[in-house]
Structure 1
């Protein structure tokens, strides 16, 4: 099977160089590497031109996108890539040398497999994020999204959600499926791979998470309002809106109302409901900020329901 790797990038030439080097060092080479770059990102385009001249590697294809955001980049990649297997990783990641080999083998031996993903080893604050979780990539009946892709442990298992930095899909499984352009954000567009994964599952395909499928992940500064660890009201609203829109459309009616209740009253540390906001305030976050997050979540819910009703 022909394997394509899609790498969205924006103003991270040092990170991109490490990613491309890791892809060129694969035991089983990709048949094509599609790098998605914005037209105004002249530094990245210049680096790609210089790389092509220096290496004569005709497998690296550059696809230009004019619209900001990873959703547009992912969709441009899907429209450009020609592989039977379409892999995704980030420009700030470095897949292990057996990454493509493992992916190709998994699809070859499992005809019903629609997608596979693995663990991203997150390098942060001078170390590696630690932990071991057996529950990975699931959405509970009441809409609680469980990630844990970076600390997944144990054997391969069926999941509902894969993570963009380390995921691959069978071309047949994503025929006609695209990343949702309604999702908010000018860069990361948080949760976009959740919506995509759930849509693949809805079409009857199996998704698998394998902790032995590894990429090294060096989270770089984002080129938008979402700076990860620093609170930004716009970025917080966008992430909350995206999650709520996905759940409003993914969950059946009864479970949708359970999600509304859960997210409004309880929620998670990253997206708190009222009770969780009070706990965060007691934990030192500050009452004003904690309640502000809860209020933003309520506004995001209203916006998501309006969007879903269109």
Structure 2
């Protein structure tokens, strides 16, 4: 057996957190350690945890003083004592066999560095149910494909896991931490990209298994989050979209070779996707969305430019450190 730690970042959602912790209490293979990461000023959560029945749950609480999920998850990595560190959100409920299936994958192959699976998303009481065979991939020109909440089929290798349902071998991540250069308030979008690609490029396999499952009851998200349903995109948030695209751009620039970087930037600016449009996608969206398409396009360009700038500054800083 391996020692398993579960990290749950949480912020002012005691009802959701109660469902999550209860699901962890019902695991067929109990966690050796569960760490709830709580903001220092979050009195609602502190009061809830004070009264929560911790029966059959090795629960610890760690205090984070910096806003955002990045700081919380990095604290979880620092505190975790397990050989395997699993992450889930406070608005998720892992299936009873979640940890047992995760452990099996890590025990079966000692070159597996990460394991994740499907999050069965429920919005307004409705299950978002569909089937996708391509999950968690980064295409050679820079398009990222998620679909973690819709994946079907056998367990297979992927490029990226999703934060609500991911686990990592401590040996594989070593001193790796989630990128604190990322923009955004609360849950910084696309934080998984750079982390997953770094593990993969170190020679470890990353496995997506739809049977490693959690039920997911998403709370309100930024309208730039690509995991939202179409109806939730009705209110546009340019700042959040720019931050999300900055984060995606930075993660890909960090890990692409130079040829792919050039191809990615050309593709992103000239074509793009419906979520992060380049020029051609903007022109395609104009008849349907009018001024909204223009606003998305401009926010997308800003995100790409800011991601490039952040990457350039980091590159220059590393160069200066080498020269010292």
Q: TM exceeds 0.5?
A: yes
Q: Is the CA contact 1:116–1:210 (under 8 Å) kept in the aligned structure 2?
A: yes
Is 1:166 aligned to 2:175, yes or no? no
Q: Is the CA contact 1:264–1:294 (under 8 Å) kept in the aligned structure 2?
A: no
For residue 176 of structure 1, report the CA deviation from its aligned partner: 0.8
For residue 58 of structure 1, report the CA deviation from its aligned partner: 6.2
> Who is 2:16 aligned against?
15
Q: How far apart are the structure 2 equivalents of 1:58 and 1:124? A: 28
Q: How far apart are the structure 2 equivalents of 1:188 and 1:225? A: 12
User: After superposition, what is the alpha-carbon deviation per residue over 1:282-308, rounded to whole angstroms, capped at 9, x for unaligned?
Assistant: 2x32x2121121112222222211211
> Who is 1:2 aligned against?
3
Q: Is the CA contact 1:186–1:225 (under 8 Å) kept in the aligned structure 2?
A: no
Q: Is the CA contact 2:8–2:34 (under 8 Å) kept in the aligned structure 1?
A: yes
For residue 235 of structure 1, report the CA deviation from its aligned partner: 0.4
Unmatched tracts of structure 1, length 5 or more: none
User: After superposition, what is the alpha-carbon deviation per residue over 1:124-175, rounded to whole angstroms, capped at 9, x for unaligned?
Assistant: 1431112211111110000000101011111011111000111111110111
Is 1:309 aligned to 2:312, yes or no? yes
Superposition misfits of 4+ residues, deviation over 3 angstroms? 54-58, 224-228
Question: Tell me, what secondary structure is at the counterpart of 1:149?
Answer: coil
For residue 221 of structure 1, report the CA deviation from its aligned partner: 2.1
| C-alpha RMSD of the superposition | 1.5
Q: How does 1:7-86 map to 2 (within 5 A)?
A: 7-51=8-52, 54-55=53-54, 59-86=58-85
Q: How far apart are the structure 1 equivalents of 2:206 and 2:252? A: 19
> Who is 1:275 aligned against?
280
Q: How far apart are the structure 2 equivalents of 1:187 and 1:50? A: 26
What is the number of residues matched between the two proteins?
305
Q: How far apart are the structure 2 equivalents of 1:130 and 1:22? A: 21
> Who is 2:293 aligned against?
290
Q: Is the CA contact 1:83–1:171 (under 8 Å) kept in the aligned structure 2?
A: yes
User: After superposition, what is the alpha-carbon deviation per residue over 1:248-289, rounded to whole angstroms, capped at 9, x for unaligned?
Assistant: 11111111111111111221111111211222222x32x212
Unmatched tracts of structure 2, length 5 or more: 314-324
- Change over 3 Å in CA distance of 1:25–1:84 after alignment to 2: same
> Who is 1:241 aligned against?
246
User: After superposition, what is the alpha-carbon deviation per residue over 1:24-46, rounded to whole angstroms, capped at 9, x for unaligned?
Assistant: 00000000110011011000011
- Change over 3 Å in CA distance of 1:131–1:225 after alignment to 2: closer
Q: How far apart are the structure 2 equivalents of 1:86 and 1:134? A: 26
For residue 109 of structure 1, report the CA deviation from its aligned partner: 1.1
For residue 247 of structure 1, report the CA deviation from its aligned partner: 1.5
> Who is 1:127 aligned against?
126
Greater shift, 248-257 or 169-178, is seen at 248-257
Q: How does 1:47-196 map to 2 (within 5 A)?
A: 47-51=48-52, 54-55=53-54, 59-196=58-195
Q: How far apart are the structure 2 equivalents of 1:254 and 1:295? A: 25
Question: Tell me, what secondary structure is at the counterpart of 1:301?
Answer: helix
For residue 182 of structure 1, report the CA deviation from its aligned partner: 0.1
> Who is 1:202 aligned against?
201
Aligned with 1:265 (options 265, 270, 289): 270
Question: Tell me, what secondary structure is at the counterpart of 1:150?
Answer: coil
Q: Is the CA contact 2:160–2:206 (under 8 Å) kept in the aligned structure 1?
A: yes
Normalised by the length of structure 2, the TM-score is 0.91
Q: Is the CA contact 1:188–1:226 (under 8 Å) kept in the aligned structure 2?
A: no
> Who is 1:300 aligned against?
303
Q: How far apart are the structure 1 equivalents of 2:45 and 2:224? A: 21
Question: Tell me, what secondary structure is at the counterpart of 2:149?
Answer: helix
